[in-house]
Amino acid sequence: NGSEQSRSIDPISVDDLRLLYERNPVSVTSRGGNDLDKEVLRVYNLVKDLHHRAQEWQKTARSLINLKKGSTVSEIIKVETIEALTQSLILSKVTCPELSILKNAVSVALEVKDRLANELFRDEYNGIDVNKGRLPDRSSLLAAS
């Protein structure tokens, strides 16, 4: 309705969402008999969908986070991939503990990227000018070819 003000709804924690999901409304019956109340079923289906989307997000996030101490990185992950994950629409509805780890990883990666760019490309290369190098001796293999 256009007269109602738009309300901001705080995201639910992934743990609370799991608890809601685990409460199956099959035992809820309408006044008319054994049929499930359609509104309860609709809400349960929304919770179920949100729960599955949150689980998928967590699965993806956990695949990027290596929580084993002393382990090494076995693959290259683009910062943009992690950044996109931290901006997923599911996070407007569900809070996940992995989000802070991913945001920190993005922040550190971007800082390292900037520092490398500044260190490697801030000065022009002042090495040997190959145009002013000595020509090979006539008796060398390079001169003979």
Tokens of 69: 């101490």
Per-residue pLDDT, 133: 65
Query: What is the pTM for the complete model shown?
Result: 0.63
- pLDDT category at 128 given cuts 50, 70, 90 is low
Distance CA 88, CA 61 (A): 11
- Is the pLDDT at 1 greater than 50? The verdict is no
**Percent over 90 (pLDDT), the chain:** 31
**Percent over 70 (pLDDT), the chain:** 62
- pLDDT category at 126 given cuts 50, 70, 90 is low
Per-residue pLDDT, 63: 84
Q: Which long-range contacts (CB under 8 A, 24 or more apart) does 35-42 make?
A: none
Distance CA 80, CA 82 (A): 5
Per-residue pLDDT, 65: 77
Distance CA 73, CA 25 (A): 44
Burial-class residue 17 by CB neighbours within 10 Å (0-12, 13-18, 19+). buried
CA-based nearest residue to 59, from 98, 89, 24 = 98
